[in-house]
Amino acid sequence: MQIRCALVGMPGSGKSTVGRQLAQRLKVPFVDLDQRLEESLGTSIRAFFAAEGEERFRALEAEMLAQVAQEDGGMVLSTGGGTVLRPENRAALRRFGTVLYLRASPDDIFRRIRHDKTRPLLQGGNPMDKLRDLYAQRDHLYRETAHYVIETGRPSVHTLVNMVMMQLEMAESAGGAGSH
C-alpha cells in the first residue's frame, strides 16, 4: 500500500517544508511541482511569469500536474499556490490521492515570507494586500479540493507533520481517499 498525498495552500503556507519532512516519515518520494516546472522550463517561475505571463504558466503547470499524477507509487506532492485555480487541476488532485490544505492566515504567511523575493505574485505594490486578495480568491478552492484542512497557524513543522500523519492514518483506516 502506497500513500499518495498532495499539499495545497497559499504561497508560504509550508507545503514544501512540511512536504519534505512528511515524505521522509512516510518513506516515499517528495515531489515539488514548482521545482519540476522550473527544471522543465530551464528558468525560474518568476522569470517565466515576467516573460510569458500567468496564463501560459498555468497551462504548463496543468500539463506538469497531469504528468506527475500518472507516475506510479507513493509520493508527497507539494503544489504551487495557484495550482487549484483550474478546475481540471482540482479534479486531478482529488483523483491523485489524499489532498491536504495547509491553511494559514494572510498575517501568518506575511510573517513567514515577507523577505522572500522569489514569489512572483507577491512582488510590487502592497504584499499584505496581495496576500489578502489571493486568500479571498483561493481559500474556497483549496477547501473544495482538499479532503482535510490542517490549520497551520504557528505550530512547528514537526507538529504539522504529526497532524498530517494523523489525518492520513485516519483516512487509511477508514479506507478513504489516497489509500492505494
Helix (H, G, I), strand (E, B) or coil at 14: coil
CATH number (domain holding residue 84): 3.40.50.300
Q: Does a structural domain hold residue 168? A: yes
Name the nearest CA neighbour of 100 among 155, 11, 12, 19.
Answer: 19
Q: For residue range 72-104, what is the model confidence (pLDDT) as tens digits?
A: 999 999 999 999 999 999 999 999 999 999 999
Cell digits of residue 66: 497531469
30-32 and 75-78 beta bridge pairing: parallel
pTM exceeds cut of 0.95? no
**Range of the structural domain that residue 159 is part of:** 4-173
Q: Give the chain's domain count.
A: 1
Give the number of other Cβ atoms within 10 Å of residue 118's Cβ. Answer: 12
pLDDT tens figures, 116-144: 766 655 666 788 898 899 999 999 999 99
Q: Residue 101: inside a domain, yes or no?
A: yes
**pLDDT greater than 80 at residue 38:** yes
